[in-house]
């Protein structure tokens, strides 16, 4: 009985140590990702084209606030280039951020509340660790709509989006 108790105590100790070590590693990765996302936002605000797009994986997707804005990295770079050239980019500051990890730690996903020129927006995305560096695989920018004014917003966008809905249904 004593050997069994010692054995299970040992197993529990090893399991606890492994779990704490993984959690500590994820906390370190959260800090790294948070800094990366802050630097990503600063690069856009400063209109640093190359720096900003270096945060994206070669195979990545940007999804914007308009229903028609779904671009791969190359398409997004082409769309954004005039804004960067004219220093008319976006300035996002994270107000609250959540970061999560796959079990193997190779993928992370995040959601954040952003202070932007459009007021509060939500940024979310998927990150992949590629050659030891976190890269954006997908970024989604969404405008938030306070529940109190949803009916007004829907009324305002109905004419525009009804046409798009019919087009997409075809």
The 10s digit of each residue's pLDDT in 92-144 is 999 999 999 999 999 999 999 999 999 999 999 999 999 999 999 999 999 99
Decide if pLDDT at 147 tops 60.
Answer: yes
CATH topology of domain 2-169: Nuclear Transport Factor 2; Chain: A, (3.10.450)
Cβ atoms 33, 123 nearer than 8 A: no
Predicted TM-score of the model (pTM)? 0.84
C-alpha separations of 125 from 61, 93, 104 in Å: 9, 16, 18
Report whether 42 contacts 91 (CB < 8 A): no
Which residue ranges make up each domain of the chain?
2-169
CB atoms near residue 24 (< 10 Å): 10
Q: Tokens 């525009």 sit at which residue?
A: 160
DSSP lists the bridge partners of residue 62 as 71, 139
Half-sphere exposure of 166 (CA within 13 A, CB side): 5
Query: pLDDT tens for residues 17-51?
Result: 444 444 567 999 999 999 999 999 999 999 999 99
Average pLDDT over residues 59-67: 97
């Amino acid at each position: 009985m004593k050997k069994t108790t010692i054995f299970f105590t040992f197993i529990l100790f090893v399991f606890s140590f492994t779990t704490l070590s993984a959690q500590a590693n994820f906390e370190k990765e959260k800090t790294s990702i948070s800094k990366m996302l802050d630097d990503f936002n600063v690069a856009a605000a400063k209109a640093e084209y190359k720096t900003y797009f270096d945060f994206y994986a070669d195979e990545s997707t940007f999804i914007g606030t308009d229903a028609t804005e779904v671009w791969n990295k190359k398409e997004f770079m082409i769309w954004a280039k005039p804004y960067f050239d004219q220093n008319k980019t976006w300035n996002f500051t994270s107000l609250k951020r959540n970061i999560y990890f796959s079990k193997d730690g190779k993928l992370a996903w995040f959601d954040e509340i952003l202070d932007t020129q459009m007021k509060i927006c939500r940024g979310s995305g998927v990150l992949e660790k590629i050659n030891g560096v976190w890269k954006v695989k997908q970024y989604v920018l969404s405008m938030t709509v306070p529940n109190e004014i949803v009916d007004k917003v829907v009324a305002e966008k109905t004419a525009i989006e009804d046409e798009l809905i019919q087009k997409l249904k075809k």
